[in-house]
Amino acid sequence: MAGLSMPSSLAAASTGLRRRPRRNVSFDLSIGVLIAFAVAAIAAPLLAPHDPYSVDLGLTNAPPGTPGHPLGTDGSGRDLLSRLLFGARTSVIGPTIAITVSVVIGVTMGAAAAWCGGWIDAVLTRITDFLFAFPGLLAAVFAVALFGPGIVAPAVGIAIAYSPVIARLTRSVVLGEQQKLYVVADRTMGFSGARTLVTTVLPNIAPIIVSQCIVSFGYALVDLAALSFLGLGVQAPEADWGLMLNESLPSLLLGAWWVMAFPAACLVLVVVAINTVGEGLLDRRGKKRKR
Amino acid sequence: MKAIELIGVSKVYPQATGGRAALDDVSLAVEQGASLGLIGESGSGKTTIAKILLGLEPASGGEVVIAGHRIDGRPRGRRARIEHARRIQIVFQDPYLSLNPRLAVGDAIERTLRLHSVERSGARRRALELLAQVGLGEREADALPGMLSGGQRQRAAIARALAVGPRVLILDEAVAALDVSVQAQVLNLFNDLREAEGLSYLFITHNLAVVQYVTDDAVVLRQGRVVEHGPTRELLARPTSPYTVELLDSIPRGIPRRRHDPVVAPAAALTESTSS
Ligand SMILES: Nc1ncnc2c1ncn2[C@@H]1O[C@H](COP(=O)(O)OP(=O)(O)OP(=O)(O)O)[C@@H](O)[C@H]1O
Ligand SMILES: [Mg+2]
């Protein structure tokens, strides 16, 4: 033990460091970006200088810096900034639906598999593996083929394709949680399995599931934007980032690169920020759980 | 009627390597209001006996009877679950893992009380009574387990077990993780509760000082078999099986000690435990 003796101030400093890991700059920056976009989406009607739908055929493809149109206009003379602000709203509706549905499906399947075990686990795991083989976009295209384009059908398609990720994660964390003594204690005190699962296990694993949802949200945003870009998602004249990309093609041919660049930049910025936050949270939970 | 009776109980875990039996023809009994010590090296099957009694695991053979009721694996149905829980409860070794980290201690106890049909309005009062009984106040009742010391958590876990109103309490190394002075307090609490509530105990421990202090009889378990059984005092003074002799020699006698503590000089340990 003598070898371990060190000045107490030094010892305190090193344990202090270990307890509070250095703040992650990109994580904080990403949180800032997301807050800024959230505010923009909520306050869109207040912030937007124009009606996002009002067409001005006399002022098409105006460059950024045009008086009254800080980011310029699109091929129909609609104000880009206003459309981006309102687009922030439309663009999160789809992923929100997708993630909500996939959480319901995934958590139910994963928790049931882990909790019941036996043949139920075997069947659910097989179904999960099967769904895993389905690319999200393909599932969404199927859904559109069946139910027509719009927000809901592609979102549900994406939800089904994403649910196995949540199911697998839920299954593994529930299996770990099952061994915890306070879960065993619930059973010995006479609580039913279902009640223990819902009131003790699920609240304790919620943080890690939420972290995974944030990551999945980013992917859903990209996939749904891609569908809108292909004309299978949100329909004109709605303001939506994916749809704006789709509509920017003719402008691009005329050299008006900004019509495409701004929605693309928004999309990339938000997705990267969401991923950074989600992965960061998953990392922290992972570390905590391993301890 | 006996509080607990195991007759020729055996247990082979399905996943056990080479089909090795965790318990082999174990018979033991705890009289109403008595306290039985269960001693044995790590892996000898002590916790397995607890799990079978609690209905967490079915026995592979033999008969398990608690207060006249045969036990065989998990009780089925709400009524059976509740009735079984009222027969027998357990306090685990590690108070850091036995309480839900997201639930205030008082709420955890209230929740248990309500399951056992105490009215919502009366549950809070009863929870505070139970906590007071183990020496915890209203402030601890509103605290999350993470804010309490090991000893306080263990008391909370005891209060929670008592909330069910069991006739038998299993204590699986229930004081091993506690500080020396706290061990003494908790052991005294067990002795008090035994008188006040007429509880019977199955006291699983490595610690011979603890066995001496809180049990009347003791059973020595080795590789799933009972090798010795008798009044604690005699068993410790004149062990008949060579295994018990070896076991007694390998375990330090005297003052209860925290598991990973450096060895304390007896005099120092004595003053520490008496000063509390
Ligand atoms: N779930 C299980 N599956 C397979 N084998 C198990 C299981 N639980 C316990 N065992 C085995 O059964 C034997 C008895 O284990 P048990 O936990 O009852 O010992 P113990 O006396 O409580 O030991 P300790 O003092 O370390 O707590 C050991 O050999 C152990 O490896
Ligand atoms: Mg054990």
Q: Quick one: which of B266, B9, B62, B53 has its CA closest to B166? A: B53
What pLDDT score does B194 carry?
A: 87
* Set of chain B residues whose Cβ sits within 8 Å of the Cβ of A182: 97-101
pLDDT tens digits along B105-146: 999 999 999 999 777 788 999 999 999 988 899 999 999 999
Task: Give percent of chain A above pLDDT 70.
Answer: 90
State mean pLDDT over B174-202. 85
| Fold assignment, B2-96+174-270 | Rossmann fold (3.40.50)
C-alpha distances (whole Å) from A26 to each of A33, A97, B67, B74 are: 10, 28, 63, 50
C-alpha distances (whole Å) from A138 to each of A93, A131, A145, A241, A289 are: 20, 12, 10, 20, 35
- Residue with the smallest CA separation from ligand 1 atom 14 is B45
**Per-residue pLDDT for B206 more than 90?**
no
Please indicate whether, in this complex, the C-beta atoms of B89 and A189 are within 8 angstroms of each other: yes
Q: Of the ranges A243-247, B40-44, B272-276, which is most confident?
A: A243-247
Asked if A188 reaches chain B (Cβ–Cβ under 8 Å), the answer is yes
Q: Residue A216 and residue A95: Cα distance in Å, rounded? A: 9
What pLDDT score does A270 carry?
A: 94
- From the CB of B22, is ligand 1 less than 6 Å away? yes
Each domain of chain B, given as residue ranges in start order, spans: 2-96+174-270
With tokens 């139970």, the residue in question is B130
pTM (two decimals): 0.82
What pLDDT score does A155 carry?
A: 94
Q: Residue A233 and residue A93: Cα distance in Å, rounded? A: 12
Q: Where are the alpha helices (DSSP H) in chain A?
A: 8-19, 25-42, 44-47, 80-116, 118-132, 136-147, 152-178, 181-188, 193-196, 202-229, 241-247, 249-253, 258-290
pLDDT bin (cut points 50, 70, 90) of residue A1 is very low
Please indicate whether, in this complex, the C-beta atoms of B98 and A189 are within 8 angstroms of each other: no
Asked if A181 reaches chain B (Cβ–Cβ under 8 Å), the answer is yes
Nearest to B90 among A188, A200, A204 (CB): A188
How far does residue B94's CA lie from ligand 2's centre (Å)?
A: 11
pLDDT bin (cut points 50, 70, 90) of residue B212 is confident
- From the CB of B47, is ligand 1 less than 6 Å away? yes
* Residue B223 and residue B42 in contact, taking contact as beta carbons nearer than 8 Å: no
Each domain of chain A, given as residue ranges in start order, spans: 25-273
How far does residue B54's CA lie from ligand 1's centre (Å)?
A: 15
pLDDT bin (cut points 50, 70, 90) of residue A287 is low
* Closest-CA residue of chain A to B84: A190
Which string of DSSP letters, residue by residue, matches B248-262? HHHS--SS---TTPP
Task: Give percent of chain A above pLDDT 90.
Answer: 78
**Per-residue pLDDT for B259 more than 60?**
no
How far does residue B2's CA lie from ligand 2's centre (Å)?
A: 24
* Closest-CA residue of chain A to B52: A188
Please indicate whether, in this complex, the C-beta atoms of B56 and A187 are within 8 angstroms of each other: yes
Mean pLDDT of chain B: 86
Q: Residue B30 and residue B38: Cα distance in Å, rounded? A: 11
- From the CB of B42, is ligand 1 less than 6 Å away? yes
pLDDT bin (cut points 50, 70, 90) of residue A207 is very high
Query: Would you call B38 helix, strand, or coil by DSSP?
Result: strand
State mean pLDDT over B193-201. 88
* Closest-CA residue of chain B to A194: B78
CATH (one of 3.30.420.40, 2.40.50.140, 2.60.40.740, 1.10.3720.10) for A25-273: 1.10.3720.10
Q: Residue B205 and residue B210: Cα distance in Å, rounded? A: 7
How far does residue B67's CA lie from ligand 1's centre (Å)?
A: 26
Angle between helices A80-116 and A258-290 (to 10 degrees): 30
